Structure 1
Amino acid sequence: MDKQRSPWPALWALVIGFFMILVDTTIVSVANPKIMVGLKTDINSVIWVTSAYLLAYAVPLLVTGRLGDRFGPKNMYLIGLVLFTGASLWCGLSGTIEMLITARVVQGLGAALMTPQTMAVITRTFPPNKRGGAMALWGATSGVAMLVGPLLGGVLVDGLGWEWIFFINVPVGVVAFILAMILVPKLPTHQHSFDILGVVLSAVGLFLVVFGIQEGETYDWGTITGPITVWGMIIAGIVVLAAFVVWQAVNKGEPLMPLKLFRDRNFSLASFAISTVGFTVSSMSLPLIFFAQLVLGFTPTQSALLMVPMALVVLPLSPVVGRLVDRMHPRYLAFFGLFVMVIGLLWYSAWLDPNVDLWPRLLLPSVVLGVANAFIWAPLSVTATHNLPTSQAGAGAGIYNTVRQIGSVLGSAAIAALLQARLTANGLHASANGAQFGGGKLPAVVAQPFTDAMAQTMLLPAAAALIGAVVVLFFVRPRDTGQWSATQGTPVVNQAPEPVES
């Protein structure tokens, strides 16, 4: 293979699979009622269809990023793609809720293997001063996938049945595998030792925390079984994660999560900021979709159409932002995007009203959120990876994607808890009205208090985005070389892309 070959074809090949796995984080939400009917199950069981995927996706990300460094990002990506595609077929063929949940776990593991490799390939094949455009494509993929997932799910469920939200992945996965085999280069591997204890501690700690947060409402934040409580699991998870961090600090070999990466101020801040973005994006759609379906009487497809303006704005703007990232400080671009996201969410909160024609009101803030998304993903990704050595590209990508996914899980859990609290505060009982969810338009007598609860709930993702906007203001200034050092404050020589093996 020509060592000077453009890295762009490889990136486009990876983006296909990356888009597919991100869509599957949101596509199931509009299909839950149909799955309940088709598999003759209850609401608590069907929630696990999403929870199992999120857990299996989030927990292994630190490990899979390191596996990419050790065995090659191409190999790990292809293995993950095979798992994900095969599990998608299994999901669509499932005849029981237990089988579907099991298949979703395997699907999540495949997604966890794939995700860090896409970012690691960018870091290892694009020089730092050329990564803006590449990260813009990666960021646009992230933003658009999270926004169009519900829309695609609504169309498939209404037209073909819930099984097709999984069957659609099979031909896409086959095409993505062929393209990746042909276009993605084999990059040199790094013969690291493998931190087995770090793997166990990180996996157990993340599982306990994420499970506790995801399932807190299911168990009313109380007892799960016997002496095991929700808060007990979360506290135990935090303790295990603290032990993991201590082990990473004292490990004399090569730790799973090199803490020295966090000496880079920009990496640390960008990782925290992307967690607020994950929190915001995963939480903002729930009250909006509930309002559209239960107050306005929209179908799943109609309610998902509210997301279309976001996607339509993100696509043309992202390449423009990518070029800007290579020319100016990402701090200003990321702050603009996050601040505009706050404005869009506050706009939604102020304009939700069951008594007027809401289409213009619902679509205009969606356009604003599209602008926000276009200015967020690439600047944060470039900032996080700018100073990473190639030997730590997989580990850095794993950390970055882990905190993003954990932010998404926290957002999903927090918005559900706040939504129920605001319903109660507005004179409605979430448990009593639960049977009406998905059952058509709410009676006029409860439409206004329900709308008020949804509008108030929208303030939570706005607050998370505001925190992210403040954090990015502390990014370090870029230097004239196009790359900057967060720890020494001195210019760093631009890092050349890695050679590839034929």
Structure 2
Amino acid sequence: MTGPSVAGAGARRPLWLIIVACSVPMFMVALDNLVVSTALRTMAVDLDASTEDLQWFVNAYVLSFACLLLTGAALGDRFGRLRVFVAGIALFTLASIGCGLADSSGQLILMRALQGLGASAVMPLSLTLLAEEVPDKKRNLALGLWSAVSGLAVALGPVVGGAVVDGLDWQWIFWINVPVCLVAIPLALTVLRDSSLADTRLDLLGMLLATAGLLAVVWAIVNGEDEGWSSAVILSAFAGGAVLLALFVLWERRAPQPLLPLSFYRKRAFVFSNLVSASMYFGVFGSIFLLSQFFQIAPVRTPLEAGVLTLAWTLMPMFVAPVAGALTDKVGGGRLMALGLLLQAIGLAWINLVATSDTPYSRMVGAMVIAGIGMGLVFAPTAAVVLGSVGPQHRGKASGANNTVREIGGALGTAILSSVFVHYGDDRTAQGFVDGMRPGIWIGVAVVLVGALCALAIPRPRPEPGTPSAAAEERAPDRTPSSATP
């Protein structure tokens, strides 16, 4: 049940303005997940940072973000989704200011962790607020446009990072968040309406167990390559995380208001959509991590030049995702996801087959376009199927769960493909890099194909003519949700 509206209960807002209000903050946090990577070498000099410090400049954000997504969604359900969304934007921006002012590695790592905390509220709630505000018949199109903005953040992360480092100082990768916040907060408060679940109590024990368990697992994933996957500390972290997550599941079975209702996992569409997300982020983002470096070494290019070359891949979802969102109901989300993952696998395999120490870019650009189209075919249908598989009151929790699985998949893919790379090659020469990259990307191809098979198992909802659900769809009004009970 939704709580009282905060912003203009009776006012109708243009669809494009609602999408912008939900997407701009999400763009900011998604961009910051990637933009730091291209500035690491400059940070190392200015802050006298060790290799371990550089890893934590990235991992501090990833850890707090991935581990607190469920909690961010739950806080929105309890205290108001818009309220927590805006608080997340504010915290993220204050932490960005702290990053820009940091003059030591310790300060920057702390501020990056606080950025991740703010982002953990922004990301799932941006999707939930969008689904709440948009009329049912336009929801999948809106999700496609939201996914396009997310894809744009992925595309621009390396480019923005390279441009800022080349033209300004590394601190500006954080200062650019401030004007975005100055626009995003009043826009959200003006355009969006608050909602919450009536009589909701926080599942505090569930939050503690889920956060601690995910923290242990994600920490083990991001540190596995450096510590050694078979080392005592990594195995202990995995074991401890598994025990905590098992206790979390046992508690959720009896919790009166669970953080993550286990009934979600009796829904085939929800389960397989999450498997699709995990496999896509594992294979694709692990591969992009290697390819972004490949373009800097074979032949030697600047980070900005390498980032620009990846745009043939990463910009495609911006154009494809809205179309995929509009087609989800007609074609079926599972079919679009399967096609998208198949195209990604073809693109990755093509790149792997032609990659050499001096491959002309012209031989790779076609593969990157195909992979990018595939990525765009997965983003929007996944969001639509995940939200459509649960009731309106559970969209926040479903979004938080899907984002968590996605981030863990990406972290695991980057870690495992990096470990394979180190085993078979090195980054001292172009040929050494290719030798290490090839087996890593083949693993990415295999995981993406497994995801395609999972996508084919997603059922396509087909209400029978004359049933209440079909009749309800036919007479669904074009409206935005109000504070009334759904």
TM-score (norm 2): 0.92
Task: Measure the CA separation in 2 of the matches of 1:469 and 1:4.
Answer: 42
In structure 2, the residue corresponding to 1:161 is in which secondary structure? coil
Instruction: Determine if the alignment matches structure 1 residue 377 to structure 2 residue 379.
Output: yes
Indicate the SS of the match to 1:99: helix
Aligned to 1:210: 218
Residue 228 of structure 2 aligns to a residue whose secondary structure is coil
1:460 matches 2:468: no
Moved more, 308-317 or 289-298: 308-317
Does the 8 Å contact 2:26/2:122 carry over to 1? yes
Out of 138, 149, 171, the position equivalent to 1:163 is 171
Distance in 2 between residues matched to 1:339 and 1:476, nearest whole Å: 18
Structure 1 position 232 matched with structure 2 position 239: no
After superposition, the Cα gap between the structure-2 partners of 1:311 and 1:416, relative to the gap in structure 1 and judged at 3 Å, is closer
Q: Which residue of 1 aligns with 2:42?
A: 34
The Cα shift of 1:175 comes to 0.9
Determine whether 1:283 maps to 2:291.
no
Q: Which runs of 5+ in 2 are unaligned?
A: 1-7
Question: Are the equivalent residues in 1 in contact too, given 2:298–2:358 (CA < 8 A)?
Answer: no
Superposition deviation, residue 346 in structure 1: 0.5
Deviation at 1:220, TM superposition (A): 2.6
Q: 1:173/1:261 Cα in 2 relative to 1: closer, same or farther (>3 Å)?
A: same
Q: How far apart are the structure 2 equivalents of 1:205 and 1:254?
A: 20
Query: Following the alignment from structure 1 to structure 2, what is the Cα–Cα distance between the partners of residues 268 and 190?
Result: 27
In 2, are the aligned partners of 1:153 and 1:165 still within 8 Å (CA)?
A: yes
- The corresponding residue for 2:120 is 112
Pick from 16, 21, 33 the counterpart of residue 25 of structure 1.
33
- Quote the residue 1:75 is aligned against: 83
Distance (whole Å) between structure 2 residues aligned to residue 374 and residue 243 of structure 1: 37
Q: CA deviation at 1:500?
A: 4.3
Q: Please name the residue that 2:265 is paired with.
A: 262
Partner of 1:5: 12
Q: Tell me, yes or no, if the aligned pair for 2:420 and 2:436 is still in contact at 8 Å.
A: no
Identity %: 32
Q: Deviation at 1:163?
A: 1.0
Segment drifting more, 376-385 vs 289-298: 289-298
Conserved? CA contact 1:7–1:125, under 8 Å: no
The equivalences for 1:90-489 within 5 A come to 90-221=98-229, 229-251=233-255, 253-356=256-359, 358-423=360-425, 430=426, 436=428, 442=429, 447-480=430-463
296-305 or 271-280: bigger deviation: 271-280
Query: Quick check: 1:187–1:498 contact (8 Å CA) kept in 2?
Result: no
Shift of 1:48: 0.3
The 2-side partners of 1:271 and 1:29 are apart by 27
Q: Using the TM superposition, name which of 450-459 and 95-104 deviates more.
A: 450-459
Worse-matched range after superposition: 150-159 or 448-457: 448-457
Aligned counterparts of 1:175 and 1:116: Cα–Cα separation in 2: 20
1:127/1:259 Cα in 2 relative to 1: closer, same or farther (>3 Å)? farther
Q: Which runs of 5+ in 1 are unaligned?
A: 424-429, 437-441
For 1:266 and 1:450, locate their aligned partners in 2 and report how far apart those are by CA, in whole Å: 39
Change (3 A) 1:277 1:175: same
Question: Residue 286 and residue 122 in structure 1: after superposition, are their counterparts in 2 closer, same or farther (change >3 A)?
Answer: same
Quick one: structure 1 residues 197 and 312, their matched pair in 2 at CA, closer, same or farther if it must change by over 3 Å? closer
Q: Distance in 1 between matches of 2:459 and 2:442?
A: 30
2:313/2:371 contact within 8 Å kept: yes
Structure richer in helix, relative to its length: 2
Determine the C-alpha separation between the residues in 2 that align with 1:339 and 1:290: 24
